[in-house]
Structure 1
């Protein structure tokens, strides 16, 4: 199992990410980072 962690993601982090393990097939995912509003009191 692989984990993709993007801390403090922004719009520029959107795109295709691939994993190239030596003991398995290549796998890819497409990540979409969306812009959201944060309202005072939600933090």
Structure 2
């Protein structure tokens, strides 16, 4: 993004759920929603 990297959060089926501004925030949102974080490049 214009403000630096962004971290996309998707459901297991690929459905976009959210975008976070940093990795710890993304991980926290994922865990709070009973999902498991996974890095995909």
Using structure 2 for the length normalisation, give the TM-score: 0.23
Structure with the greater relative contact order (CA < 8 A, sep ≥ 6): 1 or 2?
A: 1
Looking at secondary structure, tell me which structure has more helix per residue: 2
The alignment's TM-score, normalised by the length of structure 1, stands at 0.23
